[in-house]
Chain A
Amino acid sequence: MEPSDHLFRREAGRMVATLTRIFGVHNLALAEDVVQDAFCRALEVWKFRGVPENPSAWLMATAKNRALDVVRRERTARTFAPELGRLLESEWTLVPVVEELFGATAIKDDQLRMMFSCCHPRLPEDAQVALVLHILCGFSVSEIASAFVSSHPAIEKRISRAKKVLAASKRLFDIVGDDDFSGRLPAVQRALYLLFNEGYHGASPESAVRAELCQEAMRLTGLLLDHPLAATPATHALAALMCLHAARSPARVDSAGQLMSLFDQDRSRWDLRLAAEGQRLLDLSATGTELTEYHIEAAIASVHATALHAEDTDWGKIVSLYNTLMAIRPSPVVALNRAIAIAQLEGPERGLEEIHAIAGSDRLAAYPFYFAALAELELRSGRQQAAHEHFQTALAIARNPMERQFLQRRVAACTNLVPQTR
Chain B
Amino acid sequence: MQLAAGRAAVFPAPMVFVLGILLSTPLWISQVGLYQYLALEIMIWMMFALGYNLLLGFTGLPSFGHGAYFGIGAYAFGLLQLKVWPNLWFDLFGAVLVAASMGALVALFISHRRGIYYALLTIAFGQVFWFIANKWHSVTGGEDGLLNIRRLPADLGIVSFSLTSNNALFYFCLAVFAVVLVALWRLVHSPLGRVLSAIKQNETRAAFVGYNVWLYKWLAFTLSAGVAGLAGALFAMAQQSAYPNVMSLHNSGFVVMMVLVGGGLVSFWGPVIGAAFFILARDLLGVYTETWLLWYGLIFMAMVIFKPDGIAGIWQAWRQRPSASRRALAAGAVVSTALVQRGADEAV
A and B form one complex: no
Q: Which residues of A are at the interface with B, using a C-beta cutoff of 8 A?
A: none
